[in-house]
Structure 1
């Protein structure tokens, strides 16, 4: 390994270890994980070994693995190559039902909104208040006001006008 890059990483790891000691958490575990990594002794089993040390051990070992990646990048070696997924596991149905080509979309609950939100009035507002609010909003979206604007802005104003008119129609229908 080139000394310059590794020295910077070791300095950074030492600073992190001093910080861990200052706050009194898992410094020995952290130091052991970093020592394994810097000595090129880290293996794919290192995370499992750290898990046996408990949550802090796993966290500090993960930090050590990040340090290993930093050392590799500082030395210009790049990340470790990863093995491809065996074909027997790749794109095989799990046997738990039909396989979908697209992930299922879970409907997101929208807050309760309605025509009153579009018009900016209370849900139980009188019809006159709803119509006044709609007229005020429609003046802001009037085609004459947006005639010289860019096409995208004109389309947005037209869409807003349609939304306001739909909300007004719903307000009138609910007032009956």
Structure 2
């Protein structure tokens, strides 16, 4: 793996000008994700949070909670490299607007999306690991991410089951 430095156990940055990544590197990142309490890790391809373009290789385990959120004034795109996920898009009240069923290109599912407007979204991970490439605009400003009151701070079993049920009902319509 390229030379990196840790901003935290979940966020890694390159120390090199040329960033490369191999399948072996992804396996090492999966191993590191398992060591984190929140079961996730990201390798940033950009050098620091102030960069104007943020490219990240992100790994989440299936027990990872991604609190519904939206990005104010930013575009976000995501491409799945490994695994399957339902990207759930919500309206302001927490009702499901759309479910995007995604997977790696060989899965037959959609493997790419781009959000051009701020919309609440979360990830329901359907495989042991989800590996994806995310691109968004920098710099990272925490206040530009908005979390709704209807979404708990941390994982609550009842909340996830309710979303699962809504997604199941939504998919049957």
What TM bracket, shorter-length normalisation? under 0.3
Question: Higher Cα Rg: structure 1 or 2?
Answer: 1
TM-score by length of 1: 0.20
TM-score by length of 2: 0.20
User: Could you say which structure has the higher helix fraction?
Assistant: 1
